Amino acid sequence: KAGVTQTPRYLIKTRGQQVTLSCSPISGHRSVSWYQQTPGQGLQFLFEYFSETQRNKGNFPGRFSGRQFSNSRSEMNVSTLELGDSALYLCASSLGRGQGSRDTEAFFGQGTRLTVV
């Protein structure tokens, strides 16, 4: 079974530009979550999508947005990039059956390393 695939693996962007990151979850997984990892702040939750709907959002500015398609693939967009957006962006997929589900472990992709210059 293929794992979580994130593209691209590496990106270099200039301040003020925008960027789109892509994530293909494990087949059959309907929940996709995004995390930002930085040395200073650690792993921080951005948002979660389930069946094309955002059902949870972290404490990030509106420049960070996402969406999910009918095949569960997800994209994350960051507009007006700032130097502080440089990070490893991780996508995680899970079955996400519901709040009390025991099949709750998330499987992560290898991440997209974004560098803003």
Interface with another protein (CB under 8 A): 4, 6, 31, 33, 35, 42-43, 45, 48, 50, 55-56, 58, 90, 92, 94, 96, 99, 102, 104-111, 113
Query: Closer CB to another protein, residue 6 or residue 72?
Result: 6
Closest approach, Cβ 3 to another protein, in A, equals: 9
Token pair recorded at residue 76? 């994350």
Provide the minimum distance between the beta carbon of 33 and another protein in the complex, in angstroms, as a whole number. 6
Q: How far is the CB of 80 from another protein (least distance, A)?
A: 25
**Whole-number Å distance between alpha carbons of 42 and 34:** 13
* Closest to 75 measured CA to CA, from 22, 1, 15: 22
Burial degree of 6 (CB within 10 A; 0-12, 13-18, 19+)? buried
